[in-house]
A and B are shown apart, each in its own frame.
Chain A
Amino acid sequence: MAVRCVRCKHIMVPPRTICPKCRSSRVEWVQLGTKGKLVTYTVVHVSPPQFKHMAPYAVGIVDMEEGVKLPSIIRTSRLESLKIGMELEVDFSPKSQETSWPHWPRYFFKETG
């Protein structure tokens, strides 16, 4: 879910009550789809303690079809196949048992198909 400005249609993640583009405070919830294109990525080798067992892991920013960008970890076994522009989809599948809320992402990205 994200929040959309009723006046200028700007979509905000994180959701908030005042639009940073036009300052309107008329905002509404909007359901995002699951598909998008990779805008940029990195592979984190030196991580904070909570993520250490995952490292190296890929993190990226994905431009969703609705025109809002989302950051997240990209779950892939082929780190070298990451490419700007590639299609990814949101992955809500179960999280690791080791760490619980709040130190854990609620969604990931994965390759489509």
Chain B
Amino acid sequence: MRRPRRVKPLATIISAGLSKFGRREGVYARELFAEAALEAFHRVEELDPGKDIKAAFIGQMSEAYEHQAHDAPINASWAGLLPAPATRIENACASSGSALRAGIMAIKSGMYDIVLVGGVEKMTNQPTPEVTGILATASDYPFEQWNGMTFPGLFALMATVHMHEYGTTEEQMAAVAVKNHKNGALNPKAHMQKEVTLDEVMKSRMVAWPLKLYDCSLITDGASCLILTHPKLAKKLSDNFVHIIGSGQSQDTFCLHERDSLTTINAAKQAAQEAYKMADVKAKDIDVAEVHDCFTIAEIIACEDLGFCRPGQGGKFVESGASNIGGTIPINTSGGLKSKGHPVGATGTAQVHELYLQLTGQADRRQVADAEIALAHNLGGSGATGVVHILRSA
């Protein structure tokens, strides 16, 4: 195997934390965030978080769930980080992917030695139609929201074209759900730790044709965080660290109808190209990936956009088993947004949390053998934002 050139890291992850994902009744976002932060703090005994962490960047999508804006200072103080500056970053479902980038820039610029990045969302205290409406605020108000679009609907519009142009089938989309539920069943933090059969997925009720219940990610409460520093300090603080060697972010037209193609998410494709170039790795060098499977079709498109397979071949790719644990590129070993859950603001750094476990050999029954290079792919909205990170084991 070609060993990629070892580029200088942008920043280093010395710890990661994740709250239990699920329907967390009676628990506020700030409490979820503190739960994730505590787990991250426990991994690095050398660290005195209140003193050493100099800034926090926290992703959160909407203040509508808990009627609470300006929540970064709340989350950070609940994590014991008073008086470090805390800033909320909002990029819909890519909020914490973008918060991670802000943290990388803070470290890389030399402004701070140690920062915390993360994300949180408390979604389940609103009924599903309200949540559907709140999520839809991440689409265009006059042209998409007014016209009855929902997130399952927007991704369904992409699925319809993918099926028409490439012959992608509902069974192939269902195969994504089967795989990710299988992985999620191995993850004690996952929202739904339950395997499903292809038949159950195919027979589940319609949400937005052709997407059915099991094609959709879950409405979940959860939080995630990472502690970043520069590579030199990492060695002093932790035995289990992971380098960030590539970071890319790009944007596309906000409205879906303005895109030239509906079978690819250009923002993610460009973000991936930027990250691959920075990391000096290629798609075939990736050992394990977490991709944004907000809907099963999104994972199929992600595999194509990231270069894991050719355009149009994403359905066959998942069917072939290549993305299973034990396959050539295991994808969404955590269970993905589909089964681990999708607390939107927490998702970007939750994906990197899983990759941190994989690259430090702590992924337990989900462990991918000899994983060295990992990739995280995080989307905002219907793909107006795409964020890609590439990590390397120490």
A residues apposed to B, CB below 8 Å: 12-14, 20, 39-52, 54, 56-57, 59-61, 69-73, 84, 102-106
Contacts and interface: CB of A to CB of B under 8 A. Distances in A.
B157 A44 contact: no
A86 B157 CA distance: 15
**Interface SS of A by simple majority:** mixed
Interface string B124-162: 000011101100100011111111111011001111110
Contacts of A42: 153, 156-157, 159-160, 208-211
Given A13-B143, A40-B157, A54 B207 contact: no
A37 B158 CA distance: 16
Contact of A71 (B208, B211, B256): B256
A44 B161 contact: no
Contact of B157 (A51, A59, A103, A105): A59
B129 A14 contact: no
B255 interface: yes
B149 A46 contact: no
Nearest to A80: B209
A46 B256 contact: no
Contacts of A105: 146-148
Contacts of A46: 128-129, 132, 150, 152, 207-208
* Interface magnitude class on chain B: 35 or more
Contacts of A52: 129
14 contacts: A20-B253, A39-B262, A42-B157, A42-B208, A44-B148, A45-B206, A45-B209, A47-B132, A48-B129, A50-B133, A52-B129, A59-B149, A59-B153, A84-B164
Contacts of B253: 20
B206 to A, nearest CB: 5
B136 to A, nearest CB: 6
B205 interface: yes
A13 B150 CA distance: 19
Contact of A48 (B150, B159, B161, B164): B150
Contacts of B206: 43, 45, 56
A101 to B, nearest CB: 9
A13 B257 contact: yes
Contacts of A106: 146
B168 to A, nearest CB: 13
Contact of A39 (B142, B145, B161): B161
Interface in B249-304: 253, 255-258, 262
Contacts of B210: 42
Name the residue among B140, B157, B253 with the largest chain A CB count within 10 angstroms. B157
Given A42-B156, A49-B133, A71-B257, A54 B262 contact: no
Interface string B40-78: 000000000000000000000000000000000000000
A14 B128 CA distance: 29
